[in-house]
Amino acid sequence: MELVLDEQECNDECYDFNVQVVVTKNLLHKLKEFEPLTPQQILFKAHSMIFEKYGERNIDYLQVFHIKGYTFWAISNKLKNEIYDPNVHCLTFLDPGDY
């Protein structure tokens, strides 16, 4: 099963994706369709792909993934230069309809 990470739209800001991860209930439900992988395995792979693809480059707040014709997003709300606050900052994986 191939998971694809689109080329990001913007390189202006640098967002931090190495923060706590949250997932919408709707996305977890939809990712259950992609057996034999679990939703957790798909999301772990997606999270890893961001760092593999961009390394030290600026990472845009929105990353777009595709798996077997289905699209989902990863959005970070923490800029690299901000002080991390676990009560505020997170990486959210979501279905575009959840936005």
27 vs 9, residue with greater confidence: 27
Check: pTM over 0.95? Answer yes or no: no
pLDDT of amino acid 76: 94
Region for residue 68 given its phi and psi (left: phi exceeds 0; alpha: psi -120 to 50; beta: otherwise): left
pLDDT of amino acid 1: 66
Q: Find out whether 93 and 24 touch, Cβ atoms under 8 Å.
A: yes
